[in-house]
Copies of this chain bind each other. A is one copy, B any other.
Amino acid sequence: MSHRPDVSQIRAAHARIKDLIHRTPVLTSHSLDEIAGAMLFFKCENFQKGGAFKIRGASNAVALLSDAELRRGVVTHSSGNHAAALSLAARQRGAKAWIVMPSNSPMIKRRAVEAYGGIITLCEPTLQAREETARRIMAETGAVMVHPYDDDRVIAGQGTAALEFLEQVPDLDFILAPVSGGGLLSGTAIAAKGVRPGIRVVGCEPKNADDAHRSLAAGSIQPAAQAVTIADGLRATLAERTFAVLRECVDQIATVTEEEIVAAMRILWERLKIVVEPSAAVTASPALLRQIGAEGKRVGIILSGGNLDLDKLPFG
């Protein structure tokens, strides 16, 4: 794994993309601190361009394409936020983006892809169908694959969120990020341990999609469960690339029940007055419920996005 991104590559990615993205704010709340018994800092990637952190990795990958590659365009498969982000990143450089989306992707995420000019192909909601459809499009168009997480350019880009976060709040004791395919968590862990070696890095995932937790416990990638979870952004599974980073740099994986996800989402909306999607609430829950031994500590929480159907809220 000697060639995996290190913190210098994340710094380079940040220099490359910083004019293409927002430097998102960090919010705090006394009442949430009281609940957690800790000082919580929320990095608001729901305010990021496209409504999620994904533009960081996508714009870094697109920035590294040659002119010849740009003319052929890019392709990816994604349940949502990476799809919109890659469409936006490609459009910013005048390139086409072919997007393979599982048929159960939220309508709001499909509309976002369309709004950014992405060309959607729907497929069955399995990893196999996603990969096959993307390969077919690559063969037909010559487009360059920008995988949502199994890609060093993407991992380096996602790591820029933690890099910024530690500039904004240098003395964090913990940093929490969601884990799905592991791109954000890998980038977060590399950046955080690179800048602040003593920091504790915690990945957070739904109990109903706990393959990262099981894989790290077993020491090898474990198959995904059915992954029936409200956190629609967290249904992917680790790649060998991200698994290797997680084994080396992540201290703990916390798992969150569906009820805990909804409760955390609600309390974030009520107290921070911000709209975050369920996948972001997954990351706040372990700190709010005092499940990671962070009492009395300074805890950084990356709120990954804010894209969701307001017609299908789990409240009321």
Contact = CB atoms under 8 A, between A and B. Distances in A.
Nearest to A108: B270
Copies of this chain, whole number: 2
Interface in A299-315: 306, 310-313, 315
B306 A316 contact: no
A276 B316 CA distance: 17
Contact of A273 (B46, B313, B315, B316): B46
A273 B306 contact: yes
Contacts of A275: 269-270, 273-275
Nearest to A29: B47
A25 interface: yes
A51 B273 CA distance: 8
Contact of A310 (B44, B269, B311): B269
A270 B44 CA distance: 15
A266 interface: yes
Nearest to A46: B273
- Interface size of A as a range: 20 to 34
A36 to B, nearest CB: 17
A51, A270, A312 pick with most chain B CB within 10 angstroms: A270
Contact of A313 (B25, B47, B274, B313): B313
Contacts of A269: 275, 310
Interface string A27-71: 100000000000000001011000100000000000000000000
B312 A47 contact: no
Contacts of A306: 273
Contacts of A310: 266, 269-270, 313, 315-316
A76 to B, nearest CB: 23
Given A44-B273, A270-B310, 16 more contacts: A25-B25, A47-B273, A51-B273, A266-B310, A269-B310, A270-B275, A273-B274, A273-B275, A273-B276, A273-B306, A274-B275, A275-B275, A310-B313, A311-B315, A312-B316, A313-B313
Interface of A: 25, 27, 44, 46-47, 51, 108, 266, 269-270, 273-276, 306, 310-313, 315-316
8 smallest A-B Cβ distances: which pairs? Answer: A273-B306, A273-B275, A310-B315, A311-B316, A46-B273, A269-B275, A274-B274, A47-B273
